Structure formats: C-alpha cells, structure tokens
Structure 1
Amino acid sequence: MEGTIYSLIPALLMLLLVLFTRKVILSLGVGIIVGAFMLTQMDIGSGLALIWSLFSSIFISDGSLNTGSLYLLGFLFLLGVTTAFMTASGGSRAFGKWAVKRIRNRRGAKLIPAILGIVIFIDDYFNALAVGQVARPVTDRYQLSRAKLAYYIDSTSAPVTVISPISSWGAYIIGTIGSILAANEITDYQALQAFILMIPANFYAFAALLLVFLTIFLKLDIGPMRKHEERALETGQLTNPDKGDVPGDLNDEFKEHDNGKISHLILPIVALVLGTVVSMIVTGVNNSGEQVDILSIFANTNVNISLFIGGLSAVILAGVLYTGQAQPKSSMGHVFIEGLKAMLPAIYILVFAWMIGDIISQLQTGEYLASVFSQADISIAYLPFLIFIISGFMALATGTSWGTFGIMLPIAGEVAAVTEPAFILPALSAVLAGSVFGDHCSPISDTTILSSTGAGSNHIDHVMTQLPYAGIAALAASVGYIVLGMTGQVWIPLFITLILVLVIGIAIHYFSPSLKTEKN
C-alpha cells in the first residue's frame, strides 16, 4: 500500500474525524491505528508492535536518546513552569494592569501579537511560544478569545519566517535551493540571490499577513471565530468551557500574589529570548565548521536545544523572583506541578502528531502525491497554481512544511527547468507558499499545535477558526499564481493577490458587521 492512492487513507480518515468529532486525540489515535495495520498487512500483533515502536522512537532512537524530541518536549514543560511562576508571582496581573493604562482599546491589544509575530522572525517554534507569553496578559484583559490570539500567532509566524533569509527556515530553504540550482545547471544566480528573488512570488505569505491586519482594523470575525469572540466579549470566557483543559492554562485554585511587579513577567521572558537566541548562535557557530557566516549559523543551529536552554534560563529566573517575594501564596512545589500539568494537553497532541507523521511517511503519502504531479501532462500556464495546490494538500496531509519542502522543491525545480526555465523561481515560491497554507490547515502540524499552545487555545478550536482565513488567503494566492502562469510576471500578480484580499476583507466587513459589544 506504500506509495499508492491507499496511502492517503489514514490522513484523510484523520482529517474527516477531526472535522466531524472535533476530538483531535481520538482522530489522531484512529489514524495511527489504521495506518499501522495497513503497514503490517492487518496483522494485529505486528500492528501493535509498530505502534509501540513509533511511540518509543520519540524518546529512544537507534539505541540512544532522541534528543531533538526530548529537548522540545522539555521546553514545553519548562514553558509551562515559567508561566506558572510568572502568574503566581503576580507578574502577569501587573503587566496586564500596566498595559491597560497604555493600550487604550481592543485594537491595540490585537496589534501586539501581530507586530511581535513579524518582529520575532528567527524561528517559527520560538515565535509561536514567545509571542503568546508576551501578548496573553494584555489580550486577556481586553477579552480577546484565545482562538483569535492563536490565529494572530500562527498566521504571522510561518509566513514571516518563510520569507526571511535570516531565519531557521530561510537557511534551510537557501541550502535546498543551492542544490536544486546546481543539479539543473542554473548559474544565473546564487542560492541567496535566488531566495531573495523568490520572496515577491510567495503570494500566500503576503496574503495571510495582510489579512491579519485587515482582521484587526476591519474587525473581521469569520465563521466559527465569530462565536468565540461573542462568547469572550459577552461572558468573559476566552475558551470554550465545554472543551475542558487547554494548553498553558493553570488550575482555577491557583493563587496569584497581590503585589507582583512587571519585572516578574518581563525578566523571565527576556531570559527566554536571550537564552534561546544566544544558544542558536553558539550551536550554529559550533556546527558550521571553518566557514562561519550568518547563513551558515542559521542553517546549522540546533533550535530544539536552544529552546530548552532558553526555557531553563527563564524557569530559573522566574523561580528566583517568585521565592524572593514576601509570603508567596502557593508553595513552590505546587506552582511547579501546576505548570507541568498545564502543558500536558499540548504534549499529548504533539506526541500523537509525531506518531501519525511517521506513519504517513512510511506509507509514502508525500511521494505518491509528488508522483501524481510529476507524471501529469501540465500546461506551463497552470504550473505555479498546481504546484501551490499540491504542496498545500501535501502539507495538510503530512503536517509538515519542511517535509513538503524536501519532497516538492526538487520536483518543482526539475519540472520547471525542463518545461520553462524562467518559471523555476516562481515554481519554488509556489512550493513554499502551498506548504505554509497546508500547515495552517493541518491539525497535526507542529507550528499549529505550538500556536494553540502559546495562545492557550483549545487546539481543534484554533484549527477550525483559522481555516476560513487561510482559505481566503489561499484563494487570492491561487488567482495570483494563475495570473503569474499566464503573464510570466511576478509583481502584477502579487498586486492582484493583495487587492483581492483587500476587496474580500472590505466585503466581509460591509455585509457582516462587527460585534455589537466590541467598541474598538
């Protein structure tokens, strides 16, 4: 069944279950079981053994610790503990009070995650989790639903990092582009120059970013997002209470210190940022060999261990600040345990997502989709559009942008080089754009999971509320890629894409008035 149309079954079944049941753990679990039995020809014993192997490989691989996964899981736990200390010390409350005096309306609160999401462009994981920690005290004060916050985080993190050459994504993409150009004997430009030339053709990234700001200034609450915003404004419930615990939320019995200071929140976040960035630079330099430059540093950095070191720095400082207060209201052990427990929903989802990702990889779902594309008789005029759509569906099904990059970039480059060499850079851009689009729609995407974690949103609520926005940006980008294929131009299709997003946003604003209870 590997590499055939049947390899789509686990991914499609999981997506359908997510849509109909809204239970992400159940949906992922069914997908894992079905995929495992498909890989073992329906043998129950072998299937169960494979499931155990997939689970254990997250922690131990080839006889040694799987440090990449462990560092990321450890970072999530550390982030939960840091949040608990910042809350218990009263830092979050103090920052919220301070921000309310300076950020005078709900629009200002919305701008914080949007702007921070653009400024923090070095890595999507770091972006998703750091922005949520800074913005949440303010957005909570203005009763912004956690689903809306998760949308702002997710729709700025990947779109910004995918067009930034100085980022973990940019470094990886530039390295991949270099090998594609060499393989197809293209010497007109170097890899970095090619990446920069590709930026304007990443229509989805620009469409998604524009839509974020239209959502803020035109108060666009589309589809299920409207219900979340109505509930937040009318009742003060920022998440759906019927969905149970959400990542990062602490127990209701958790007591905050009354005399907390802003520094109890700001200093641990500064430690998190500095610890992570410095560690990324150090690990990048150490792994770069003799030739060290900014691109090699980001290409060779170890993001997961850097996040762990940053998280550890934040926990230590937050713990010191908490214990330094007079008469803390909760014991340090209680705060620590509550912080760990708060991250368990995110850990469960991430572990299951990794397992089904392995299943889909072994079934060669991505390779099957790529083969369908490469064997099709495609008109050059529709090449960028079809590459965008195929890449989007592949990222949706597999839950990985980087995996889609690895499969689709070489194929798109080769197809374009053979049919029309002038289209090679737009074709590669279409892969990047489609991958981010699919990533935004996938319930098993790492960045989607971490965005809901950073925002403290129910994961499936984040996925379902983001879908209409991602669909609008993808529709506009699709029109742009069709125009690009017909004209061979880049700037005119980009302009058309952005105008289309603007027109759709204004139309939604006109025909669907903003919430009555929202004043600004």
Structure 2
Amino acid sequence: MRRNRIVRLILIAAILAAVVLCALFTADGSETGGFRQSAWALLPPVIAIALALITKEVYSSLLIGIVFGGLLYSNFDFEGTVIHVLSDGVATVLSDRYNVGILIFLVILGAMVSLMNRAGGSAAFGRWASAHIKTRVGAQLATVALGVLIFIDDYFNCLTVGSVMRPVTDKHNISRAKLAYLIDATAAPICIIAPVSSWAAAVSSYVEEGNGLQVFIRAIPFNFYALLTVAMMILLAIFKLDFGPMARYERNAEQGDIFSGLRGYADAASESTNPRGRVPDLLVPIFVLIVSCVIGMIYSGGFFSGADFITAFSESDASVGLMIGSAGALVFTLIYYFCRRLMSFRELMGCIPEGFKSMVPAILILTFAWSLKAMTDSLGAAEYVAALVKSSASGLRSFLPAVVFLIGCFLSFATGTSWGTFGILIPITLNVFPLSDPIGIVCVSACMAGAVCGDHCSPISDTTIMASAGAQCDHVTHVSTQLTYAIVAAAVSFVGYIIAGFVPNALIVLPVTLALLIGVLFVLRFLSHREAK
C-alpha cells in the first residue's frame, strides 16, 4: 500500500513537471502572457480535477490548480504568481458580495441543521419515517420527491433535502454516497426545468428582447439531460439497480456501513438529541425556511416595490434572497425552540458555532473552487471557448445541438460553473440561429443541459460540494460514485441532441431518448446480475 502511494506521488510529480516544462517552452514571453485565451487557460481546472480523482484529496488538488493558474497568468514569475493567487484570487472571491452571501447562507443552514438535530426534530422525523416508509425503494423515492418539490434554488435544495432525509436513508441502510447522488441529481437538474427558480432567472437574463422566460419554457422539453436524470433516479430506485463504484458502497450500506469507512462531513451525526423532540420540530422550521427564502428572493427582485411575482423572481438576487430568508428562519427557529423549552438559551447559542464548524469543509472547498474559477477567468478561458464555438458553427447546423451540449459539458466541468457557461454559449447560439428557428431553441436547451451535466460531474462545482455537505458524504466519494450515472444520462442525451438536430420536435425525440435510457438501464441491470453470479 505504501509503495503504491509513493509510485502515485512520483507519477503526479512527473506529470506536473512535464506540464510546467511544456508551458515554459511554449510561452511567447509577451507582456500579455502567452497562455491567455488559448487551450492553456483550461489546464488549471483540468489539473485540479485529475489530481482530485487520483489522490482522493480535494484541498491540495484545488490549491495546486490555483497555483498553476497563477503561474500561467504571470508567465512563471514568482512575485506575480503570489500576488495574483492571493490578491486577485482568494481575496477577491472572498470579498465578492454574492459569494459572501452564499457563505452566510451556508453558515446559517449549518446552524439550523445543528439546532434541529439537538432539538430532536431530525430523530423524531426518522422515527416517523421508519413507521411509514418501510423499504429502501420508498426512502429513495421520498428523497427524489422532496428534491423535486424544493425547486427554488440548488444551494437551498442540497442542504435542506440532506438535513431532512438523512435520518430516513440511514434507517434503511442507504449509503451516504447514494444519498449525495439523489440530492445532487434533484438540485441543478430540477432547477433548470423549473420556470420559477433562480436558474430560470439566470438563463432569462442572457436572452435579449425581454422574452427570456418564454425561451426558457420553450427549451424545457428539449432539456434531455435534466429530464433523463430525474427519470433515471426513479428507474434506479424501482429496478433496485446500482452499477459502477456506487454498487460497492450500496453493498457495504446493506451490511450496515453507510460510509464505507469515509465519514466526510458526518461529525454532526454524533450530536446528542432531545428525546422530547417531535416531527413538527423539524418540519415547521423547514417550512418557515422555504417560505422565508421565497419571500427573500422576490424581495430582492423588487416584488414589494411594485414588480409582479414572475418579474420579481426573474430579477431576483439568489445570494441576497437566500441570505435574508435563512436569517429570518434562523431567528424563528431559535424563538420556536426556546418557547417549546427544548433547549436552554445557552444550548441554543452553542448550536450556532457547532453549525459553523460542520460547514467549514464545504466553505474551504467553495473558496478554493471560486479561486480556481478566478484563475481560469483571468486566463481568458471563456473568450477562447467562445471563439472556438463561433468559428466552428458554420456547416454544423444539424449537429450543432450535440456539439453545443458537449462543449457545455466540458466548459462547465472544467470551470465548475453552470451560470458562466450559460453566459458564454447562449448568446453565441442565438447569434447563429434566431429564436424563430427551431434549431435555435434546441441549441439553447443543449447549452443548458450541457452546463448542468458538467456542473453535475465536476468536483469543483459548488452544487456538487453542497450535495456532499448536505449528505455529509466524503466529497471525492460522491464525485467518483456519481460520475458513472451522470455519464450514462449524458451519453443518451448526446444521442437525443443528434436526433433533435434533424427532427426538432420534442414530442418525437423525448420519448425516443427515454426509451433508449430504459434500454440502457435494462442492459446494465442484466450485466450487473451476471457479474453478481
């Protein structure tokens, strides 16, 4: 084991050294930097992702990617690298108002989860669910159903579904890796097909002429990856099918080891609980949290200043709305538990730092992921990809939806952001094809689906990180087990976009892709049963 570890470290060092030497010999030495707006701009996230999957350690992998991005930006100047990484990278992302709002939202959610656990609400819900949800299939379908219902925002979805469903899935020996997949697959994929969500607002903002929401709704039937992912979760639960790395974690869970030895964020599970807790002690704060976040989002969109509900949601600031909503819900929860006499004032206040500590791993990974994105942005990765797509768009009319889907997958996977991918690809596709052309709508949907697919797979995606935190699952475990499932849905979606390029009719293409997915899952089920024998 030790020898394998040494060999792995030597290989990693050799790869990094080869990349550095290659970069040094290919730089043009100009003041603007020979690596900007070129394929080199995509290398830092690729290095970070590859190292994370190889080493199973995400913090150092992200840090190496950040440093390498700084080296490319400064043409391997030591002083320039340090200043760019610390000042333009870490300090800048931590001073960004939107990012700080998300971090505050995370901390408040962590405090609320700690409060609900200590008050006994989570344990009470687990007891209630064990009496009403009697099978592993039922527990998985209940998780999917709750994720579908919480369609407002992916961040909110990940942490809320995780805190509510952990007691249920633990009771039925469902692995934390599987729970993390169910959470992640009902976060971005649901938000991207929900007209009333922060994601709909983001996509609509990239469409000119004020008809962004209409374009978003027209693109929903062609969003094959999101729709197939939802269908796949249901089919996997009903067929009792697991394949790839996930199968091993589920087998271990059936034997009672839901973590497979990797506890990840699970420290909060050891908190003592109040035996007087009741199911409403969990559900009431969650309901207030949902309502408060909706009110916070429409407030940030100007609803109370005269805007209608749809307009307010489309113009909302998710960071501000979630921060305001979660703060209001936290105050309510503290008062509610104090009036219920479930905890003393000292115990209530003690849950706040405990919740903060439980979110420290997620906050660190998010900070590094944002810093890595800042490095990639400074190298002009977006401009490089935009020019590449625009130059290759002519002559690929029928295949362009599939091409846009692949580019969206790669760009979102490498940068860890869906919204940035929307901003790059949607204006390009709309310039190539007008909205009156059916292929234009298919391409917009392909961009949205590809961005969500890459975001779903990427270990540096904030949604993926929060899904790990919500399930209290080791982050690399979540990424490696989810990847196989996401690739299956992506491959079927790719075929669907090839068909849609020639037949842009959702009533025809969507049933065909769904039938293809069912066929693939039946084949995988047959192969997994044969391997088991």
TM-score, with normalisation over the residues of structure 1? 0.89
Q: Which amino acid aligns with 1:117?
A: G
Q: Which residue matches 1:446?
A: 462
Spell out, residue by residue over 1:352-409, the C-alpha distance to the aligned partner (whole angstroms, 9 max, x if none). Answer: 0110011111111122122222212542221111011011101111111110000000
SS at structure 1 position matched to 2:302: helix
The answer to whether the 8 Å contact 2:111/2:354 transfers is yes
- Structure-to-structure mapping, 1:348-359, within 5 angstroms: 348-359=364-375
- Structure-to-structure mapping, 1:284-363, within 5 angstroms: 284-285=301-302, 292-323=307-338, 324-325=340-341, 331-332=347-348, 334-363=350-379
Instruction: Say if 2:242 is the partner of 1:227.
Output: no
SS at structure 1 position matched to 2:433: helix
- C-alpha deviation, 1:483, in angstroms: 1.2
Q: Which residue matches 2:126?
A: 96
Using the TM superposition, name which of 216-225 and 319-328 deviates more: 319-328
Cα distance in structure 1, aligned partners of 2:168 and 2:263: 23
The answer to whether the 8 Å contact 1:257/1:328 transfers is no
Q: Which amino acid aligns with 1:410?
A: P
SS at structure 2 position matched to 1:57: helix
- C-alpha deviation, 1:317, in angstroms: 3.7
Instruction: Specify whether residues 514 and 79 from structure 1 end up closer, same or farther in structure 2 by C-alpha distance, changes over 3 A only.
Output: farther
Q: Which residue matches 1:118?
A: 148
Instruction: Say if 2:239 is the partner of 1:205.
Output: no
Cα distance in structure 2, aligned partners of 1:422 and 1:257: 58
Cα distance in structure 1, aligned partners of 2:263 and 2:507: 47
The answer to whether the 8 Å contact 1:392/1:437 transfers is yes
Q: Which residue matches 2:31?
A: none
Instruction: Say if 2:429 is the partner of 1:394.
Output: no
Cα distance in structure 2, aligned partners of 1:210 and 1:501: 9
Gaps of 5+ in 1: 61-65, 183-189
Q: Which residue matches 1:187?
A: none
Q: Which amino acid aligns with 1:11?
A: P
Q: Which residue matches 2:294?
A: 277
Using the TM superposition, name which of 191-200 and 78-87 deviates more: 191-200
Instruction: Say if 2:79 is the partner of 1:59.
Output: no
Moved over 6 A (4+): 326-330
The answer to whether the 8 Å contact 2:174/2:258 transfers is yes
Cα distance in structure 1, aligned partners of 2:148 and 2:347: 38
Question: What is the number of residues matched between the two proteins?
Answer: 495
Q: Which amino acid aligns with 1:397?
A: A
Using the TM superposition, name which of 257-266 and 210-219 deviates more: 257-266
Please point out which of 274, 281, 287 is paired with 1:257. 274
SS at structure 1 position matched to 2:206: helix
- Structure-to-structure mapping, 1:65-80, within 5 angstroms: 66-80=96-110
SS at structure 1 position matched to 2:372: helix
Cα distance in structure 1, aligned partners of 2:36 and 2:388: 14
Q: Which residue matches 2:257?
A: 237
Q: Which amino acid aligns with 1:504?
A: V
Cα distance in structure 2, aligned partners of 1:197 and 1:86: 40
Spell out, residue by residue over 1:288-343, the C-alpha distance to the aligned partner (whole angstroms, 9 max, x if none). Answer: x76x2233211222222222233223333443455553677994454333222111
Q: Which residue matches 2:484?
A: 468
Q: Which residue matches 1:426?
A: 442
Spell out, residue by residue over 1:200-234, the C-alpha distance to the aligned partner (whole angstroms, 9 max, x if none). Answer: 11111111111010111012212111121122221
Instruction: Say if 2:389 is the partner of 1:373.
Output: yes
Instruction: Specify whether residues 227 and 279 from structure 1 end up closer, same or farther in structure 2 by C-alpha distance, changes over 3 A only.
Output: same
SS at structure 2 position matched to 1:380: coil
Cα distance in structure 2, aligned partners of 1:8 and 1:267: 45
SS at structure 1 position matched to 2:268: coil
Instruction: Specify whether residues 29 and 300 from structure 1 end up closer, same or farther in structure 2 by C-alpha distance, changes over 3 A only.
Output: same
Q: Which residue matches 2:495?
A: 479
TM-score, with normalisation over the residues of structure 2? 0.87
Please point out which of 133, 141, 144 is paired with 2:174. 144
Q: Which residue matches 2:13?
A: none
Using the TM superposition, name which of 78-87 and 293-302 deviates more: 293-302
Cα distance in structure 2, aligned partners of 1:68 and 1:199: 27
Q: Which residue matches 1:35?
A: 69
- C-alpha deviation, 1:424, in angstroms: 1.0
Q: Which amino acid aligns with 1:31?
A: G
- C-alpha deviation, 1:192, in angstroms: 3.7
- C-alpha deviation, 1:127, in angstroms: 1.6
- C-alpha deviation, 1:255, in angstroms: 1.9
- C-alpha deviation, 1:172, in angstroms: 2.5
- C-alpha deviation, 1:427, in angstroms: 1.1
Q: Which amino acid aligns with 2:258?
A: L
Cα distance in structure 1, aligned partners of 2:404 and 2:389: 8
Q: Which amino acid aligns with 1:231?
A: N
Cα distance in structure 2, aligned partners of 1:223 and 1:334: 42
Q: Which amino acid aligns with 2:86?
A: W
Instruction: Specify whether residues 490 and 294 from structure 1 end up closer, same or farther in structure 2 by C-alpha distance, changes over 3 A only.
Output: same
SS at structure 2 position matched to 1:206: helix
Cα distance in structure 2, aligned partners of 1:362 and 1:102: 53
Q: Which residue matches 2:115?
A: 85
Cα distance in structure 1, aligned partners of 2:212 and 2:333: 42
Gaps of 5+ in 2: 1-34
Q: Which amino acid aligns with 1:220?
A: L
- C-alpha deviation, 1:10, in angstroms: 0.6
Q: Which residue matches 1:186?
A: none
Using the TM superposition, name which of 351-360 and 500-509 deviates more: 500-509
